[in-house]
Structure 1
């Protein structure tokens, strides 16, 4: 391979990363994305009203309920709702997004608690967002690994960005790989896409150049022989890196890597 070929490969790798990261940032800054969250409310049996959402909200054995006053309205699944409405029991880590004017009112369950988390496009955090700093992409940080499935998914309890809150995930296995001269492994959870995996981790850069609490890495579904591709250039911040209104999970203890993973997203401007 010529010097020109190597340079072309480097340029192509960097361009592919920039296109991917641009799409990632667009999703973060969406009018109803996480930067639009204006508050985090924990629901109780006693109805509560909030300044950034219509209705009086409560929860109980039958799930989340809202009572809308005269003149108040929510749009749920395209239909206007007035008066009393029950969202039912919401599953752990599930979210519903009824609409109120130009806002959406996230109704969710996190760590066993029902919450309401309004998202308003005019939130100053979203309007002021100017991108997340990141290391320059480098193919040295993209490596092949091996997925090792556990005999049975392991319930794994991890902490959260909110003090006192815990999350429980079923870990289907771990990924083993070599990186920067070290043999490493990460416990993984189910990813967003079917068959994909998610790794939460910290490393020696955490709290120095990258966000202290966590970063995440999406991993495509393993091949038939367990081979996986880990591109740490695509290690990204979770919402808690930008706002205290997030309930993000922390990595399991075994995912605290001692090596410095000097790639991926850095500490956001909002935290500096």
Structure 2
């Protein structure tokens, strides 16, 4: 390969990474992204009011209910609702966004618990956000591995950023790969979109230059022969890296890599990162 071709390939690699990075930042810092969250409210059968959401909220066997006062309104699925509104039983890791003025009230289930998590565009964490530090992209951190599916998905329980909370994922398989000649593997969870995978991991940079608890890497669907690319330049922070109002999962024990992955996003400035 000529120097000119190498330069062109590296430029394209960097531009593709920048496109990914900017999309990550845009989702995070959007008007109703995770930086806009102002509260994490855990529901039970007692009606309770919160300073950053309208109505009195409770949950029970029939799901989440809000009782709105006269003059209070939420818009759910494009339809204004008043008085008592039933959200019903929510699926795990599912939820509904209810619009309240310029805010969105997220009603969701996490770790078997129903929560209300308001998102306000003027949240101080969002308005003060200046971007996430990251390592410069380097092709050496884009490695080819092989996906090994399990005979049947394995229910895998992991901890969460919130103490005492657990998440359960059906792990479909693991990914084997090498870094600098060292064989490594990661248990994979279902990712966003058909046949994509997600790996949660820590490594020797965790708590030093990268967020201590976790980072996530989304993998495109493996090829027919199981080949899959792990581009650690796209190792991303989860919301808990920025705010304590997140319920992010932690990696399974086997995904603690004994190497330093000096790629991807670093400790956010909001957590004292450079």
Q: TM-score range by the shorter chain?
A: over 0.9
What SS class does the counterpart of residue 22 from structure 1 fall into? helix
Contact 1:201 1:257 in 2 (8 A): yes
Instruction: Determine whether 1:180 maps to 2:180.
Output: yes
- 1:181 Cα offset (Å): 2.6
1-side partners of 2:170 and 2:57: how far apart? Answer: 31
* Alignment partner, residue 131 of structure 1: 131
Bigger shift: 11-20 or 101-110? 11-20
Partners of 2:84 and 2:42 in 1: how far apart?
19
Q: 1:49-97, CA deviations, whole angstroms, 9 ceiling, x for partnerless residues? A: 0010000000000000000011100001111100001000000000110
1:138-149 equivalences under 5 Å are: 138-149=138-149
Match of 1:229 in 2: 229
SS at match of 1:144: strand
Q: Separation in 2 of the partners of 1:182 and 1:262?
A: 16
Q: What is the alpha-carbon distance in structure 1 between the residues aligned to residue 102 and residue 124 of structure 2? A: 15
C-alpha distance in structure 2 between counterparts of 1:160 and 1:259, whole Å: 23
Residue of structure 2 in register with 1:201 after alignment: 201
What is aligned with 2:238? 238
What TM-score, normalized to structure 1? 0.99
CA shift, 1:225, in A, is 1.1
**Deviation per residue, 1:171-223 (Å, 9 max, x gap):** 00000011233111000100011110000000000000000000000000111
The Cα offsets for residues 217-258 of structure 1, whole Å up to 9 and x where unpaired, read as 000011111111111000000000000000000000000000
Deviations 1:129-156 (A, max 9, x none): 1110000000000011111110111000
Q: Retained in 2: the 8 A contact 1:180–1:259?
A: no
Secondary structure at the aligned position of 1:265 is classed as coil
Aligned residues: 272
Quote the residue 1:80 is aligned against. Answer: 80
* Counterpart-to-counterpart distance in 1, 2:46 and 2:28: 33
Give TM-score scaled by structure 2 length: 0.98
Aligned to 1:251: 251
SS of 1:97 mapped into structure 2? strand
Paired position in structure 2 for 1:211: 211
Q: CA deviation at 1:126?
A: 0.5
Q: Deviations over 1:19-77 (max 9, x none)?
A: 21111111111100000000000001010000100000000000000000111000011
Question: Which deviates the most, 155-164 or 6-15?
Answer: 6-15
Mind listing any 5+ residue stretches in structure 1 that lack a counterpart? none
RMSD: 0.7
Deviates more, 1:11-20 or 1:195-204: 11-20
Contact 1:64–1:88 (CA under 8 A) maintained in structure 2:
yes
The CA distance in 1 between the partners of 2:23 and 2:41, in whole Å, is: 30
Where do 1:26-175 residues align within 5 Å? 26-175=26-175
Partner of 1:271: 271
User: Partners of 1:68 and 1:209 in 2: how far apart?
Assistant: 46
2:107 and 2:249 map into 1 onto residues whose CA distance is 18
Where does the alignment leave 5 or more consecutive residues of structure 2 unmatched?
none
The alpha carbon displacement at 1:4 in A equals 2.1
